[in-house]
Every structure is written in C-alpha cells, then in structure tokens.
Amino acid sequence: MAISLFALALFLFLGLDLDQSSPFPASAATEGVEITYGSVLKLMHERTKFRLHSHDVPYGSGSGQQSVTGFPNVDDSNSYWIVHPLPESSAKQGDGIKSGTIVRLQHMRTRKWLHSHLHASPISGNLEVSCFGGEDQSDTGDYWRLEIEGSGKTWRQDQRVRLQHVDTGGYLHSHDKKYTRIAGGQQEVCGVRDKRPDNIWSAAEGVYLPVTGSQSQ
C-alpha cells in the first residue's frame, strides 16, 4: 500500500483538510503532464464537465454498494481518485501508463475501488458503477482498461480517454440524467458496452507524481 500512503502524505504535506471541499492548488497540476501510478486526480466527463465522484452513500437499488455519480462542482474533495496498478503488476509509483494498460482507481476519501458488475444502473438501466472493497480487498471487478483517443501512447493530462471495465466490457459513461433525490444536481455514472461520445473523460485537477519509468501490461 505504498502508493496509498504516499498519496495520503501528499494531502498532509499540502496542508489539506480531507473533511473540507478545498481543491488542490492550481500549481499541483500542469496542462499536458504525464499521469503516473500514485497520482491523485479528478476525472472530468468531457461533454458535461462533471467530475467522477463518490461518497459513503449506498445505492437504494441494484447492488446496494457505495454510489458513484457525476458531480458539478470542481472543488469537492470526494472526487479525488488514486491511480493504482494491478496487485500482481511489477509497476511502481511514478511509472508512466500506456494505452491498453489495465489500472485500478481508488476513491481517496473512502478507500474503496471504482467497480462495476451486471447490476442495472438506477436511472438508465445500463451497467451499475459503484465503489467496493477496501485497502486489502480488491478483485477483477475493479479492473479498467485505459484507451487513449488519438495518437498518444502514454496517458497525459490533456488527452481524451476511455476506461473499459474488463469483466463486463462496459465503458465508464455519464450523461445529463440527474438524480432527483440526491443534493447538488448529481448525474448518473454507469457502464455501456459500445463506444459513444458520452464515455470520454480526461484528467483534470490533481497531484501528478514525477515520471520515473514506463510500464505496460
């Protein structure tokens, strides 16, 4: 769990209160920087500009696991995710991430993993996306394949990407269908099995670790 501990240390070093909704300093992320394992970032849905978000509130249907939504505000601390390799990978903190690599995303606040399965999503009936597990509990339902749009081979902050769930084949997806019983105008995040304009994301705010190497899986 060296990556998790390092990411937590970054929060403490920067003097951030994880219970507040303060963003990282603007200087923490520079346009075009390479994304490496151990980076702490927000994923922005390209069309709606909402951030991938989770908090300790379960779905009222489907799996009943921790809900994942799209959140409209930039400065919310529940939208930070840590980029991890697979448990059996030889990748190290600071290694670059190539297109086609399978990664895991850990929710910074609750320590659970971005997850999907065959349960139906609450609004659209697509594949439910949730948060599940913990520091020592992760399975293949947490595995996402990075697909970089265009000619780029290594994940950078200014690139458009898709994340395809390995077990179900569903792409991480969002749209402007909003929950009526959740405060803040949050919208549904789900998985769909075909490529659409609404399953494109990009790395936004965050702390990006310096590149020390490059790995492929």
Where do the domains of the chain lie? 2-210
> What type of residue sits at position 80?
Y
64-99, pLDDT tens digit by residue? 999 999 999 999 999 999 999 999 999 999 999 999
Q: Which residue's structure tokens are 């151990």? A: 38
Q: Whole-model pTM?
A: 0.86
Fold designation for 2-210: Trefoil (Acidic Fibroblast Growth Factor, subunit A) (2.80.10)
Q: Three-state SS string across 182-215, please?
A: CCCCCEEEEEECCCCHHHCEEEEEEECCCCCEEE
Half-sphere exposure of 19 (CA within 13 A, CB side): 0
Which of 48, 50, 57, 166 has the alpha carbon at shortest distance from 105? 166
84-93, pLDDT tens digit by residue? 999 999 999 9
Which of 81, 70, 102 has the alpha carbon at shortest distance from 198? 70
14-37, pLDDT tens digit by residue? 334 433 443 443 334 445 799 999
Average pLDDT over residues 145-161: 94
